[in-house]
Amino acid sequence: MKSSFTTSNNAMFFSVKYSNLYLIFLSSFITLFFIFCGNLFGHKTKELILDSPFQVHKPPIQGIVFIIHGTFAHKTSWYQPGGDFYEALKFSANKKNYKIIPFHWSGNLSDLGRIKAAHDFVKLLLEYPPELKKIIIAHSHAGNIVFIASQLLAQQSSKKTTRSFQRFIARTFKTQTKKSSLAKKTVKELLILSRMVKTLKTEPTIEITYLLGTPMSKKYEPNYTILKRIINLYSKNDCVQTICGICKRKLPLHAQTINLEIFFANNKLSVLQSPGHSQLHAPAIAYHILNIFEELQKQKIPSWEQSNYGKEGKVVFFADGTFPYFAAQ
């Protein structure tokens, strides 16, 4: 009896063992088959796998959020995956089904560096469908890169590009092309980009641009046919933004803009603090920045009347996670 029982158990053990091996072999074969088909037929097989009934579908992307760093900040981590601002921003971006794209540029402190960055940013922007909602968060001189990019995109209709921008471009390259190989290369790239933009059937637009401590200068002008709404966030304690009085903190009042002075506080009972330049990309701002426009639409702030745009106000960000407080200025 003992021998018979042992023999029976062994037979069952080997039966189960080889059955499991068979399933492992079969699943491996199917996986290799799909990989082979993917290499053979490209994206069609990839789409077939994604459309499998066993695949968990994610909601379609509703928008793209571009984060652009400022001067000398190309090696910093705050705007990249794993960085404090990026990770805090991801919290609200995921709720809206937005994809976050960090944009890297040289970080050079020059007009030429910003023009080159604007060219590269426009090329990146045009990689995404025009119907997809686009939002930009730009720190420091990145805001001026966005302004230049808006002028480059407006070349679809030559009348929409401002004369001051044309003079700025001409003046920059007049002084640079004779001694700079980068300038010569950039001129050629801008001509190619200009021809490409003029062939676009649909004019690309940016739904909302959030500026964080951008130095405001007359030579950098936003093109409002491209930039539909601009929310300028600034601090009076930001000594870098004004560049020793050369630049201003606020955008000129316009129907599509609003200037908001930023304050920090631990909670609603604590003393208000004005942040410095680098504090303008703090996680406390990132958690709520994508909701600012919607909140301004909801709140009926006294003296702002029908529209919150073309106005000035204040916003307080709280360290304890409380939603920001807005007030007219």
Structure confidence at residue 38 (pLDDT):
52
Calculate the average pLDDT of the chain: 82
Q: How confident is the model at residue 11 (pLDDT cuts 50, 70, 90)?
A: very low
Mean pLDDT computed over 255-271: 92
Q: Give me the residue label for tokens 């936003």.
A: 222
Structure confidence at residue 167 (pLDDT):
79
Q: CATH topology for 63-328?
A: Rossmann fold (3.40.50)
In the chain, where the domains are located = 2-50, 63-328
Q: Residue 181: is it exposed, middle or buried by C-beta count within 10 angstroms (0-12/13-18/19+)?
A: exposed
Mean pLDDT lowest among 95-99, 129-133, 173-177: 173-177
| Secondary structure of residue 325 in the 3-state scheme | strand
Q: Rounded to whole angstroms, how far apart are CA atoms 161 and 156?
A: 9
pLDDT digits (tens, 9 = 90+) for 106-121: 999 999 999 999 999 9
Structure confidence at residue 1 (pLDDT):
45
Q: How confident is the model at residue 122 (pLDDT cuts 50, 70, 90)?
A: very high
pLDDT digits (tens, 9 = 90+) for 163-216: 777 778 887 777 765 567 878 888 888 888 888 888 887 888 999 999 999 999
Structure confidence at residue 33 (pLDDT):
61
Pick the residue with more confidence: 226 or 164? Answer: 226
Compute how many other C-beta atoms are within 10 angstroms of the C-beta atom of residue 285.
Answer: 24
Report whether 58 contacts 23 (CB < 8 A). no
Q: Give me the residue label for tokens 């976050």.
A: 100
Q: Residue 123: is it exposed, middle or buried by C-beta count within 10 angstroms (0-12/13-18/19+)?
A: middle
Q: Rounded to whole angstroms, how far apart are CA atoms 139 and 81?
A: 17
Mean pLDDT lowest among 32-41, 47-56, 57-66, 115-124: 47-56
β pairing state of 311-318 and 325-328: antiparallel
What pTM did the predictor assign? 0.79
Q: Rounded to whole angstroms, how far apart are CA atoms 67 and 278?
A: 15
pLDDT digits (tens, 9 = 90+) for 68-80: 999 999 999 999 9
First to last CA, the chain: 94
